[in-house]
Amino acid sequence: MASDALDFSLLPHDLQPLAPLIAKYAESDDAERGDLLASASTDELRELSTAADPHWDAINVFLNDNMDEIGPRQDLALALDGFSQTAMEAASELEERGTG
């Protein structure tokens, strides 16, 4: 899904700061996500791997509340889920580079 089709205003206030990263890193396909991480700079990976840390509870609540709702909230939840996977895998990519 194209990030320009997502309505980031539906995110709770505490998740709003993640919107630019969600738009950039929302990838559900494993291979595409791997390519995205491999092409990211070390600084981008550091930002990504730490950005979600203070928000995991709010991310999980949003995912739980919106994954089954058809429409724009579900679209956003799917993007947030892809971003979450990418954020978690960024730390592994940093370790593989020897910079984690």
Q: State the 10-residue block means of pLDDT for the chain, 100 residues long.
A: 77 96 94 95 94 96 94 96 96 87
Q: What angle do CA 72, 15, 58 make, to 5 degrees?
A: 95
What is the distance of C-alpha 62 from the center of its chain? Answer: 13
Helix (H, G, I), strand (E, B) or coil at 95: helix
Do residues 87 and 52 touch, judged by C-beta distance below 8 A?
yes
The pLDDT value given to residue 99 = 78
Please check whether residue 51 lies inside any domain of the structure: yes
pTM for this prediction: 0.89
Which residue's structure tokens are 């840390």? Answer: 53
The pLDDT value given to residue 100 = 64
Please check whether residue 43 lies inside any domain of the structure: yes
Please check whether residue 2 lies inside any domain of the structure: no
Please check whether residue 7 lies inside any domain of the structure: no
The pLDDT value given to residue 3 = 55
Number of compact structural domains in the chain: 1
The pLDDT value given to residue 74 = 96
Please check whether residue 68 lies inside any domain of the structure: yes
The pLDDT value given to residue 1 = 46
